[in-house]
Amino acid sequence: MIETNHVITIRGLTKSYGATSVLKGVNFTVRRGEVHALLGGNGAGKSTMIKIITGASSRNDGDIRFFDNEGRVRSETEGRAKVAVVHQELALLPHLTVAENIALPHQRRGAGLFRRVAAARHAYDALRMIDQDFAAKSLYWLVGSLSLHEGQMVEIARALSSGAELILLDEPTANLTANETERLFTVLRKLTRENGLSVVFVSHRMKEIRQIANVCTIIRGGHTVVDRQPMEELTDAGIIERMGQVAASHAPERAPRSEYRSDASAATDIITIEETGFRQELQPGTVLGVAGAPAGPAALIEALTGTARKKRWTVARAGWPDQLRSPRKAACLGAGYVTGDRAHKGVLHNLPIIDNVMASRRVTRGALLAGGSEGGECLDLLKALKVKAASVWDLPSTLSGGTQQKLLLARWLGVPSRLLVLEEPTRGVDIGTKREIYQLIRQMAASGTVIIWWSTENVELLEVCDRVIAFDTEGRCAGVLDRNDFSEEKLVTLTGMAA
């Protein structure tokens, strides 16, 4: 029977890595012109299935069929040529320009050596669909100089420009602002409606899933537990339950305030951040949220982590120099940092789990060699964060993306820190893991650590933080919301960004 409205069908897909079975008979069907949410907790097998669809990984068993516009079955090679993917971790070449990165898919199809001007014109047309201002100024920038959220826009533009009939988006909005996300959704709606494009959308952000997806498939433990069910037939709590997570309705609406108790010497532990016309004093145990477009938060984070090239912000505390000069100096003084760019600036991919977890301790202790007690210490940290690993000597690649994020947090768990800067710490993690991270943040604050947390998800800042600094679209401090004055509407007004 010819299926004229299908773009891909998968039946009985299995995949194992050694003794570990990841996919155990997954079924999945995407129809032409729809946005299909692929849901599941960290480690459920979503990323593995995407790799198999694109040919980046082989399958053990199962049937995959690609269809053309007439409903005829294509060969897998021909079908994969019509698939574009945006991975959770960006796959850009840092030594090439934005234009050259966007033009790469056309180069692979044998179009010959592209000229710089032609590549720039093609890249501009693709990138302006998401952000016209960024497109106008960035075409000849090296990708290696971009921020994480700028790189995400380039990756998405490359997928949109590829002429694909099926686009797989794995956490595409994780580093985008609310305004950028809405522009992306507008483009996707237009392409699916007018061009028949099919989109597979992987995300843990329930609000965004509701905004863009028509139908969903849920994978749990390598099995399909919900197969092509319309979104309107499922509640958020029902989706989360089928994913094997704790429903949001079962969790507290707002985390409790820090239990840190100051003493007579606490005044010397106050951290002051200041720029022209703006000053904040942060008592030990404060959780300070940072919201808004990336320009403002990025400048503050650079000052706090010792990477600022320009002295826009000053960071003061008793015993600290006027300006933190390097990440190593900042760490030794008790200022930790968890990057939002897990793939390129966070995880040490070629080193085992134990080296990833113990990295900060070695820096702050001045250790040149691994200590004999590190194995037990690492196991205790993994246990505290509910990280399941076969061995501390395994590579991080054996863990899901969300679990790798936990490794970055484990680096600072128990380290005597005065300040911990978190940049999108819940990026790409499921709802259950988010709850664990929220609790961990409050525990760190309860020990007296000042937490500064930048997130593009307003709702989680309002849930966990004691106060939030809002930056407007020009990167200026627009105001501060205290905990007793929190609302998403007020935060949106201050930042000038859509909810």
Task: Look at 494 and 469; give whichever has higher pLDDT.
Answer: 469
Task: Look at 170 and 42; give whichever has higher pLDDT.
Answer: 170
Task: List Cα–Cα distances, 461 to 204, 258, 287, 423, 470, in angstroms.
Answer: 16, 15, 9, 12, 11
Identify the pLDDT of residue 472: 84
- What is the token pair recorded at 448? 């007296």
- Residue owning tokens 């494009």: 197
| Model confidence at 2: pLDDT above 60 | no
Measured from the Cβ of residue 362, the count of other Cβ atoms closer than 10 Å reads 16
Q: At what angle do helices 353-365 and 374-384 cross, to 10 degrees?
A: 110
Identify the pLDDT of residue 110: 44
Q: How far apart are CA 89 and CA 75, in angstroms?
A: 28
pLDDT tens figures, 361-389: 888 877 666 667 888 889 988 888 888 88
Do the Cβ atoms of 46 and 219 come closer than 8 Å? yes
Do the Cβ atoms of 221 and 244 come closer than 8 Å? yes
Identify the pLDDT of residue 115: 62
Torsion 451-455-461-464 (CA) sign: negative
- Residue owning tokens 């995300």: 203
Beta-bridge partner residues of 39? 218
Q: How far apart are CA 102 and CA 421, in angstroms?
A: 32
Q: Which pLDDT band holds residue 107 (cuts at 50, 70, 90)?
A: low
Element of type H or E holding 98: helix 98-108
Q: How far apart are CA 175 and CA 382, in angstroms?
A: 26
Highest mean pLDDT among 29-38, 335-344, 455-464: 29-38
Identify the pLDDT of residue 210: 92
Identify the pLDDT of residue 12: 95
| Model confidence at 259: pLDDT above 60 | no
Beta-bridge partner residues of 281? 272
Task: List Cα–Cα distances, 273 to 88, 170, 235, 323, 452, in angstroms.
Answer: 33, 36, 43, 11, 11
| Model confidence at 91: pLDDT above 60 | yes
pLDDT tens figures, 485-497: 888 788 888 876 5
177-185 mean pLDDT:
81
Identify the pLDDT of residue 227: 93
- What is the token pair recorded at 279? 């000053």
| Model confidence at 394: pLDDT above 60 | yes
439-448 mean pLDDT:
86
- Does the predicted model carry a pTM greater than 0.75? no
| Model confidence at 184: pLDDT above 80 | yes
Beta-bridge partner residues of 477? 471
The dihedral region occupied by 423, where left means phi > 0, alpha psi between -120 and 50, and beta the remainder, is: beta
Set out the domains of the chain in order of their start, with CATH numbers: 6-247 (3.40.50.300), 266-495 (3.40.50.300)
Say which amino acid occupies 454: W
Identify the pLDDT of residue 368: 61
472-489 mean pLDDT:
83
Identify the pLDDT of residue 249: 38
| Model confidence at 481: pLDDT above 60 | yes
Torsion 289-381-268-273 (CA) sign: negative
| Model confidence at 206: pLDDT above 70 | yes
- What is the token pair recorded at 200? 């597979």
Do the Cβ atoms of 322 and 358 come closer than 8 Å? no
List, in order, residues 6 or more apart from 115 with CB less than 8 Å away: none
List, in order, residues 6 or more apart from 126 with CB less than 8 Å away: 102, 157, 158, 160, 161
Say which amino acid occupies 451: I
Identify the pLDDT of residue 266: 56
Identify the pLDDT of residue 485: 82
| Model confidence at 436: pLDDT above 70 | yes
446-451 mean pLDDT:
89
Q: How far apart are CA 324 and CA 340, in angstroms?
A: 20
Measured from the Cβ of residue 10, the count of other Cβ atoms closer than 10 Å reads 21
Instruction: Supply the mean pLDDT for the chain.
Output: 83
| Model confidence at 499: pLDDT above 60 | no
Identify the pLDDT of residue 250: 40
Q: Which pLDDT band holds residue 260 (cuts at 50, 70, 90)?
A: low
403-423 mean pLDDT:
86
Q: Using a CB cutoff of 8 Å and minimum separation of 24, what contacts does 294-298 make?
A: 294/147, 294/149, 294/177, 295/471, 295/474, 295/475, 296/471, 296/472, 296/474, 296/475, 296/476, 296/477, 297/454, 297/471, 298/147
Identify the pLDDT of residue 29: 96
pLDDT tens figures, 291-318: 887 778 888 888 888 887 777 888 888 7
3-9 mean pLDDT:
84
Q: Output DSSP code: residue 325.
A: -
| Model confidence at 262: pLDDT above 60 | no
Sheet of 35-39: strand order equals 83-86, 166-170, 198-202, 35-39, 215-220, 223-230
